[in-house]
Amino acid sequence: MKYLLYTLSAVSILASCKKKTDDATEFDKAAMLENVASSIIVPELNDFSTELNTLQTSFELFQNDMNQANLDVVRDNWKSAYASWQSVKVYDFGPVLTNGLKAATGIFPSDTTQIQTNISSGSYTLGSASNTDAIGLSALDYLLYQADALDKLINTPNYATYVSDLIDKMVNEVNIVRADWNGYKSTFVASTGTETTSAFSLLVNEFNKDYEIAKNAKLGIPIGKQSLGIQLPDYIEARYSGYSLDLLRSSIVSHQGLYNGDRNASSGSGVGFYEYLVHLERKDLADAINTRFNQIISKIDSFQGTLEEEMTTNATELDNLYTLLHGQVINLKTDMTSAFGVLITYQDNDGD
């Protein structure tokens, strides 16, 4: 009996010590979410707002003096805003979702027929369902980069008004989201569980979902991965400006920055998913993900032409880029989320 009591006592002490050790080494997900919110999401929203304001100001200056040089400034500012948007679209939950910012800003390709109808009539409700594909940054790609864009802007008042209205709409909407994030941030940081409605789960899901959208919509669909190898140039993002591969690169860089807990970082320098994986003793996976991100970015940098040009002259290498993007899905969506204990709740159509 004494031996049994001593044994039970020893087991109890060991269990107590183990519990204290586990508690002491538990990963601080709240600190990670605080870092993501304060060092990444809010600054990215602020940067996007700044870029849109710059675009708005440059277009106002263009309207006062319509010439090619001023239009080129508008185009450059549009490009900067579109690149900045790549770092915001990842966070399609909370205020971004409830205010419909992603649908109002990042839908592509645009419905050019609807855009022309709106311009011809001079009467439209930009927030209506019928105009979902006639607004946002993609619509500006069409309006600012047509071969005769300068002529239309000068000689068709409704055309310039429509451009101005699109920019004003985005400026107003991102300001609403920024204000709402001030109230949402504390909720976000405190919601560290793995249930499907937690902020942590939403962050992991949207990270993966947005990565897959980048893989499929920005590259896979145009190069024919969902159409039996038949290329679909009409589905190219930013087709008129030829800015497609730049946007893909910006998107991947933003994913890697979030993953590493430090904006635009190419290694685990902040408190993010990388550090969490290392804590879970999955450094092999953590490093493999960064290696693959770096390979993808390097591959994008190897192309010299626009996506449409490369589809004609360099289809094999685009296939190789898609293979690199596709391989990362297993790392992120299967291995990383499994390590985190997070359930993927969104649906995709490509079988990963």
Give 51-60 pLDDT, tens digit per residue.
999 999 999 9
pLDDT of residue 21: 38
pLDDT at 238: 98
- Reference 328, options 170, 220, 184; nearest CA is 220
Asked if residue 2 has pLDDT above 50, the reply is no
What's the pLDDT at 141?
A: 98
Q: Is the pLDDT of residue 304 over 70?
A: yes
> What is the average pLDDT value for the chain, to the nearest integer?
92
Task: Check residues 352 and 258 and name the one with the higher pLDDT.
Answer: 258
CB atoms within 10 A of CB 125: 9
Over range 330-336, report the average pLDDT.
97
- Residue 291 pLDDT class (50, 70, 90 cuts): very high
Q: What is the mean pLDDT of residues 165-194?
A: 97
Among 106-120, 194-208, 215-229, 259-273, the least confident range: 259-273
| pLDDT value of residue 20 | 39
| 10 — pLDDT class (breaks 50, 70, 90) | very low
Q: pLDDT tier at 350 (50, 70, 90 boundaries)?
A: low
